[in-house]
Amino acid sequence: MSAVLLVNTGSGQADHICRRVVDALLREDVRGCMSQGRVVEGMALPFARHLPASLRDGAWLLLPQLGTGHLWLPVQPCSFMQDWRLRTLPVVLEWAGELEYLRELSAILAYFRQGMNTAQNADFDRFEEECAAAVAHGEFCAAEQASWFDSGVHVPDGRDWAGRLLHYDRLGAFLDHPFYPTARAKLGFDAHDLAAYAPESAPRFKLRWLAVPRDLYQGMDTPLPDIWPDFQQLGLNPLLAASHALIPVHPFLWEQHLAGFLAESGLQDSVIPAPRAYMEVQPTLSVRTLVLADAPQWHVKLPLTIRTLGARNIRTIKPSTIADGQLLQDILGAIASRESSLNGRLLLTDESRGAHVAHKPFLGFILRRYPDGLADSTLVSVASLLAPAPDGKSVFETLAERFYAGRVLDFFADYLDLTLRLHLLLWVRYGMALESNQQNSVLVLSDEAPGLRLLIKDNDAGRIWADRLARACPDLAARLNDLQDRRIVVSDALPLAQMFSTITLQLNIAVLVEGLSAAGYVSREDLYRQVRARIEEVLNDLAAQGEAVDLARQVLLEDERLYIKYLLRAASLESKESTGATDVNKFYGKSAPNFLRHP
């Protein structure tokens, strides 16, 4: 047997993305790589004597034979979200008596692609483009972060709560998504667009505007604020106000795709482009949601023709979400007003202003207003908590120093208590689970209002078990008839368990546990024991109040495996026909080791 060494010195970003993708392939059992694979020790390899000890020693996963040759991955045991993960590069392809040492992701993916049909290969083609974009965008962002940190970074102080929110959003933008391996890629943006429109660069720019006939404009009843422009300010005839309404458009969409979309939709002769850009904005962590520079309590969410977290996740605005988001906020607010344990601890944005044009997902907006009384507060999304600050500490550590006298574990305990009490109460008593992911869950800290608070925004994709809500609050359940996206309403508790497990538990709690334990504050075992104990405490309280907690106890504390989102498969590698998922962000398996289960 001979060995052929394929050397790829590549960039650090290329190796980083390669490792993340391979881990995701294992985690989501792509093409049966885990369920049909076989783990052996290095000394049992048929080619063990050809390997250096530094590569050989340890476990190896033999993937199922998908075509020519055998692919061997050096792996190591893992207890967070998967049983095995990549130990090192390169991986080894064994074929025709020879060994090839593969470091390039494209070569590894070529093995996974063997035997695929034309449509499946097209999905992998798009994913390889996404991987290349993730490498290029990662290099851009690393340089941008270094330049920013070197320039001297200061957290806005005083009453500039919006400046602090943007500061922490920018820090969070440099942090990878915990699970989706190529989240760094903003497919559709190039380096110029990243500099012009991405939160990593903290740009400011002005919106473009269209005047659309009122018979095509479908808006919410809530009046728009005084900051909204009039026709004259945009260089349009003021008399158009009698027959037209104004729609903001992101300048990227305006420049790149709007003309084509209007032509395809037959709207090119109906709408009137305003000659002037107007209203300066700055991007938040979500990229398409923008802070109004002159009125930062207002954020506007606009369609963008980029894809993030998968090729199927285009960031336009589905018209149904405009009204559904506020309806869910209203239900959540009504629940909070009835629960003393949430009194003053839960804050909600007002999302009652928005519109779309002729049901087109590329023409619309949601105008979001933050609550009053935040002037002295510090708002930080959960997505930013583990981001490194210029001094090398995490945002979580710096917040603990500022508001908890450096007591990191006390901060974590308060966060854990608030998060679990809110979301377990919603699940068990009201049959409601929120897709309050890391971006949409925002911590609110203040010297003026002691105690941690939680702000929820962008709440348009939750799940509500109608029968359970009707039992608890018949008046609120009646409002479900007004929901446009009927996928929100479910007929049993399982979708609630899946959403709680994959969003609240894994993204918003377990990822933080892993980060804090890696920083050396306390062992991950101790932190998970704390999480388990707090879940047990909340469930016991609810059981004492007559609520049925058996399913929550079983799914969270007793089952050997936790539900997990197969993000990569559903959003990039497989069609909806293959997965059967009605929503690419809600395709679940049950394969994650349960880190809360007693041994």
Domain CATH number, residue 487: 1.10.510.40
The residue count of the chain comes to 599
Closest CA to 530 of 519, 516, 518: 516
Domain assignment present for 317: no
Grouping H, G, I as helix, E, B as strand and the rest as coil, residue 431 is: coil
Closest CA to 274 of 241, 322, 308, 305: 241
Domain assignment present for 174: no
Asked if 186 and 133 count as a contact pair (C-beta separation under 8 A), the reply is: yes
The pLDDT, as a whole number, for residue 238 is: 97
DSSP letter for 225, please.
P
Asked if 198 and 186 count as a contact pair (C-beta separation under 8 A), the reply is: yes
Domain assignment present for 7: yes
The pLDDT, as a whole number, for residue 599 is: 61
Domain assignment present for 85: yes
Domain assignment present for 584: yes
| Single residue among 59, 79, 112 that ends a domain in this structure | 112
Range of the domain at 555: 379-593
DSSP 160-205: -HHHHHHHHHHHHHTSPPSS-TTTT--BT--HHHHHHH-GGG---E
Domain assignment present for 282: no
Asked if 27 and 82 count as a contact pair (C-beta separation under 8 A), the reply is: yes
Domain assignment present for 159: no
| Single residue among 112, 134, 168 that ends a domain in this structure | 112
The pLDDT, as a whole number, for residue 5 is: 36
Please give the Cα distance from 306 to 293 (Å, whole number): 23
Neighbours of 399 (CB within 10 A): 23
Asked if 273 and 154 count as a contact pair (C-beta separation under 8 A), the reply is: no
**195: CB partners within 8 A, 6+ apart:** 201, 203
The pLDDT, as a whole number, for residue 11 is: 66
Strands 272-273, 84-86: pairing is unpaired
Closest CA to 322 of 433, 483, 465, 207: 483
CATH number, domain of 105, equals: 3.30.310
Strands 205-213, 217-219: pairing is unpaired
Among all chains, which residue has been given the structure tokens 């944005």? 349
DSSP letter for 440, please.
T
User: Based on the structure, what is the number of domains in the chain?
Assistant: 2
Per-residue pLDDT of the chain (599 residues; tens, 9 = 90+): 444 333 333 469 999 999 999 999 999 999 999 999 999 999 999 999 999 999 999 999 999 999 889 999 999 999 999 999 999 999 999 988 899 999 999 999 999 999 999 999 999 999 999 999 999 999 999 999 999 999 988 899 989 999 999 999 999 999 999 999 999 999 999 999 999 999 999 999 999 999 999 999 999 989 999 999 999 999 999 999 999 999 999 999 999 999 999 999 999 999 999 999 999 999 999 999 999 999 999 999 999 999 999 888 899 999 999 999 999 999 999 999 999 989 889 999 999 999 999 999 999 999 999 999 999 999 999 999 999 999 999 999 999 999 999 999 999 999 999 999 999 999 999 999 999 999 999 999 998 877 899 999 999 999 999 999 999 999 999 999 999 999 999 999 999 999 999 999 999 999 999 999 999 989 999 999 999 999 999 999 999 999 999 999 999 999 999 999 999 999 999 988 888 888 888 999 999 999 999 76
| Single residue among 62, 80, 112 that ends a domain in this structure | 112
Please give the Cα distance from 499 to 495 (Å, whole number): 6
Helix/strand/coil percentages in the chain, nearest 5: 45, 20, 35
Domain assignment present for 433: yes
Q: Residue 507 corresponds to which tokens in the numbers above?
A: 């993204």
Which residue type sits at 419? T
pTM for the model stands at: 0.95
